[in-house]
């Protein structure tokens, strides 16, 4: 074991080597391998890189964007060049969100280790930072950007330029006045710490100060009783507010003196309001809080469509990385389309298109490796099988050998009248596909819509029948894909492990024509919905319409960012990001009828009034990188749920202020079925000549909202944090 001293020295040497910079080979494919110069910036948080021929211009990425560092040949690109470069010189940076991996090769194993260990240490340092340190870091990053001549100070001209970069259009006199107040040393320039003060004066939150003073008995601080009153009156906390007030003081008050006196300063109050506890999302619903012992059909299951695709449906790449991304996002149902490959090796790709092919055995190995990293609850692998009997036998062998004990093989046939629960199936992988039925059925088994569509698109003459199924593969199927005849037929004869797949248009048609029958069907049977074949660009349909019917497996193209994936991420953020959400009781009851088209007809109809006062915004990111362009932000609150609840309202836009815009506007909604509603907050940059530009969004289930004064922490298009950007709101929910 190395002594801490040597570890520390080694760590220091790694960082110094990274700061000095070195040439690493960036690999995209066997043909594309190019030298780039990479170096760690002085802030120890940014890595700059440029191609060997570029004279000065470096591009950069932040260490906080890196999610993991993989060593060796752990990506498709590096596996492709494994013969040229030994594993100990190779490593991969995996980024958050949907950004592609960066595959690198160093000149020696020692240089590779310097980067691997160095980046891991820097990532850990960033993870361990508390909120106020993060904010100070964020501010000093800006300082480094503004300090053009790198003398550790900025003058007023540099400060003005910086304000523009930070999205602030400020009256020059006001800015100059604050600059002079912060310039304690009266040198006409600000040093690092003075700049932090300048920034804090700039961002003083008058609206938070006013609220603080409304509850402070002495105008200076909140006593434990003052804070308790605020928690009861505004945040609507009931029992235990007095004890909670003390916990908040202990947790968020920066001043030792105030903490000893059981009181909170305005700084502590702001820290609480911007913390996870002060956020709009109720922390009690963040972890696993639902009953996980009900039959599978009672849960929404986070599901991906054609999981192997990274881009479009016609010509883009297929990749095991796409499975890793989906599984890391908590996806619990992935799709594998299998076709005959050369040398007897089944391949995965979108049949009859130009999408690239990957080996089935690599896909299964990836699933085995990542299946339970984000969630322990069962993973369903939906198989579309187009292979010959011989290659199906190879498939069966791979599933058995590679998945081992994880594979659930004892199927439910005849065992029970309902499916097992997520709890009973923890850490199990369930296969879903065509299954040879009883003797009277044809050996081809039955098929789903999507299989049928794929078969119909075959270039072969119509007389050719489906390839017959191999018994070996059929025996491994836990869920059986069947053709849907009618709700009546299913009610009479469907077994619990039989599942039909519907295209989005067919699912919509049934929801309009037979809403309550569809809801009832989904109390017993699993239903899978998939995007229309016309969506060749991998766009998505709105999943909410399907969830309203109680459809469990609503498959989306995870690779495509946008409102539909925001809703999916929003629904599945609760319950420990387990990928399973217990459906509302109205969608689980077999005795009662619920029709989402007519929510007011249900017995216990209790609509709610949802009122959102949009107060202010904080540090919204720039949309256009041009120095002079500053955003004109507006906030739109979008409601999703039963058709009656689908409404949107927005504030007016604020001219030229992305830094601390104030709207002070109240938006009101009537919600007919609160338990099925989701709320999406969107911030956009108003543009009168063209479409507004997206700035950030945050989506959550209505049932996870905390009332009172709350911050909504915005996410990027990709669903990653854009800290410290937020909007500050007041939420009120009352019975109508």
- Whole-angstrom Cα distance, residue 216 to residue 104? 56
**Strand ranges in 482-621 using DSSP code E only, listed in sequence order:** 498-503, 526-530, 553-556, 580-582, 608-618
Residue 350 a catalytic site member? yes
Is 589 annotated among the ligand-binding residues?
no
Using CA atoms, how far residue 77 sits from 22, 83, 91, 345, 645, in Å, is 21, 12, 11, 20, 47
Q: Which two tokens stand for residue 17?
A: 């080597």
Helices 156-165, 131-146: axis angle to 10 degrees equals 120
User: And the tokens for 230?
Assistant: 């605020």
How far apart CA 420 and CA 646 sit, in angstroms, is 34
Quickly count helices (H) and strands (E) in the chain: 22, 30
Cα dist from 210 to 97, 130, 274, 715, 724, whole Å:
38, 26, 16, 28, 22
398 labelled as ligand-binding?
no
Which residue matches tokens 């256009």? 624
Positive or negative: CA dihedral 689, 691, 693, 699: positive
Given the structure tokens 């998939």, which residue do they identify?
A: 530
Helix (H) or strand (E) holding 340: none
Residue 80 annotated as lining a ligand binding site: no
100: its two tokens: 């592609």
- Print burial letters for 367-401: b (CB count within 10 Å at least 16), e (below 16): bbebbbebbbbbbbbbbbbbbeeebbbbbbebbee
| Burial group, residue 56, by CB count within 10 angstroms (0-12, 13-18, 19+) | exposed
Q: Give me the catalytic one of 350, 386, 521, 672.
A: 350
Peptide bond into 724 cis (omega under 30): yes
Q: Give the length of the chain.
A: 736
* Six-digit token string for 216: 């402070």
Is 528 annotated in some ligand binding site?
yes
Active-site position among 305, 386, 521, 672: 305
Task: List residues bridging with 671 in a β-sheet.
Answer: 608
Determine whether the annotation assigns residue 155 to a binding site: no
349 is in an annotated binding site: no
- Around 684, how many Cα atoms within 13 Å sit in the side-chain half-sphere? 18
Strand-pair category, 721-735 with 708-715: antiparallel
The Cα 391–Cα 524 span in angstroms is 34
Q: Is 685 annotated as a binding residue?
A: yes
Angle between helices 360-370 and 389-403 (to 10 degrees): 20
733's tokens: 């929910």
Please report, for residues 333, 409, 419, 493, the alpha-carbon distance to residue 496 in angstroms, rounded to integers and kept in the order given.
Answer: 18, 16, 6, 10
Residue 291: count of CB within 10 angstroms of its CB: 10
> Is 427 annotated to bind ligand?
no
Instruction: Judge whether 655 is annotated as a binding position.
Output: no
305 is catalytic: yes
Query: What residues pair up with 104 in beta bridges, in sequence order?
Result: 26, 91
d(CA 242, CA 238): 9
Report the alpha-carbon distance of residue 726 to residue 736 in Å, rounded: 30
**Strand 526-530 and strand 46-51: pairing?**
unpaired
501 among annotated binding-site residues? yes
- From residue 595, give the alpha-carbon distance in Å to each of 300, 508, 586, 719: 18, 13, 10, 32
Collapsing DSSP states into helix, strand and coil, what is residue 379?
strand
Location of structure tokens 């999943």: 543
Q: Which residues, 6 or more positions from 479, have their beta carbon under 8 angstroms from its beta carbon? A: 380, 430, 431, 432, 433, 497, 498, 499, 526
Binding-site members are 306, 335, 337, 384, 432, 434, 501, 528, 630, 632, 656, 685-687
Among all residues, which ones are annotated catalytic?
305, 350
Binding-site members for substrate are 432, 434, 501, 528
């Amino acid at each position: 074991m190395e002594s801490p001293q040597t570890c520390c020295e080694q760590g220091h040497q790694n960082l110094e080597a990274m700061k000095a910079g070195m040439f690493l080979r960036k690999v995209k494919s066997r043909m594309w391998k190019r030298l780039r110069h990479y170096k760690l910036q002085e802030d120890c948080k940014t890595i700059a890189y440029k191609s060997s021929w570029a004279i000065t211009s470096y591009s950069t990425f932040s260490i906080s964007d890196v999610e993991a560092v993989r060593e060796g040949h752990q990506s498709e690109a590096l596996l492709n060049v494994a013969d040229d470069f030994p594993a100990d010189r190779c490593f991969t940076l995996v980024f958050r969100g949907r950004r592609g991996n960066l595959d690198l090769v160093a000149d020696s194993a020692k240089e590779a280790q310097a980067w691997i260990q160095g980046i891991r240490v820097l990532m850990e340092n960033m993870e361990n930072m508390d909120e106020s340190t993060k904010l100070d870091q964020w501010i000093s990053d800006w300082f480094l950007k503004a300090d053009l001549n790198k003398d550790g100070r900025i003058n007023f001209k540099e400060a003005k330029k910086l304000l523009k970069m930070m999205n602030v259009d400020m009256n020059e006199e006001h800015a100059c006045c604050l600059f002079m107040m912060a310039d304690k040393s009266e040198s006409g320039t600000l040093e690092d710490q003075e700049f932090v003060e300048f920034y804090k004066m700039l961002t003083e939150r008058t609206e938070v100060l006013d609220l603080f003073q409304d509850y402070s008995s002495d105008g200076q601080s909140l006593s434990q009783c003052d804070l308790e009153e605020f928690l009861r009156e505004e945040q609507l906390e009931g029992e235990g507010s007095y004890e909670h007030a003390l916990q908040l003081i202990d947790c968020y008050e920066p001043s030792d003196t105030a903490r000893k006196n059981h009181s909170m300063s305005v700084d502590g109050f702001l820290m609480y309001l911007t913390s996870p506890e002060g956020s709009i999302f109720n922390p009690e619903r963040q972890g696993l809080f639902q009953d996980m012992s009900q039959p599978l059909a009672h849960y929404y299951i986070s599901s991906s469509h054609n999981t192997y695709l990274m881009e479009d449906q016609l010509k883009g790449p297929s990749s095991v990385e796409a499975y890793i991304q989906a599984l890391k996002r908590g996806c619990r149902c992935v799709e594998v389309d299998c076709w005959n490959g050369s040398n007897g090796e089944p391949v995965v790709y979108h049949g009859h298109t130009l999408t690239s092919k990957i080996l089935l055995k690599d896909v299964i190995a990836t699933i085995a490796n990542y299946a339970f990293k984000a969630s322990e609850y069962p993973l369903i692998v939906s198989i579309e099988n187009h292979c010959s009997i011989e290659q199906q036998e190879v498939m069966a062998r791979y599933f058995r050998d590679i998945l081992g004990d994880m594979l659930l093989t004892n199927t439910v046939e005849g065992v029970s009248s309902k499916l097992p629960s997520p709890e009973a199936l923890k850490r199990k992988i369930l296969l879903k596909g065509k299954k040879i039925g009883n003797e009277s059925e044809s050996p081809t088994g039955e098929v789903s819509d999507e299989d049928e569509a794929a078969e119909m698109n075959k270039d072969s003459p119509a007389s050719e029948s489906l390839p017959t199924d191999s018994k070996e593969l059929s025996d491994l199927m836990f869920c059986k894909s069947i053709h849907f005849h009618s709700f009546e037929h299913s009610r009479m004869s469907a077994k619990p492990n039989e599942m039909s797949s519907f295209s989005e248009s067919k699912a919509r048609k049934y929801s309009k024509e037979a809403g309550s029958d569809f809801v009832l069907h989904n109390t017993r049977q699993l239903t899978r919905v998939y995007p229309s074949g016309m969506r060749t660009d991998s766009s998505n349909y709105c999943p909410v319409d399907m969830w309203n019917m109680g459809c469990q497996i609503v498959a989306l193209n995870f690779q495509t960012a946008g409102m539909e994936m925001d809703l999916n991420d929003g629904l599945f953020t609760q319950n420990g990001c387990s990928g399973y959400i217990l459906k509302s009781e109205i969608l689980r009851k077999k005795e009662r009828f619920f029709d989402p088209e007519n929510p007011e007809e249900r017995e216990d109809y209790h609509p709610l009034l949802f009122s959102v006062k949009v107060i202010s915004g904080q540090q919204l990111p720039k949309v256009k990188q041009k120095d002079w362009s500053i955003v004109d932000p507006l906030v739109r609150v979008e409601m999703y749920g039963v058709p009656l609840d689908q409404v949107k309202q927005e504030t007016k836009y604020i001219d030229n202020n992305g830094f601390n815009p104030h709207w002070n506007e109240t938006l009101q909604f009537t919600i007919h079925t609160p338990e099925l509603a989701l709320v999406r907050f969107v911030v956009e940059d108003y543009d009168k000549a063209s479409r507004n530009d997206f700035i950030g969004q945050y989506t959550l289930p209505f049932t996870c909202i905390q009332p009172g004064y709350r911050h909504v922490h915005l996410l990027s298009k990709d669903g990653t944090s854009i800290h410290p950007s937020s909007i500050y709101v007041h939420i009120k929910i009352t019975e109508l």
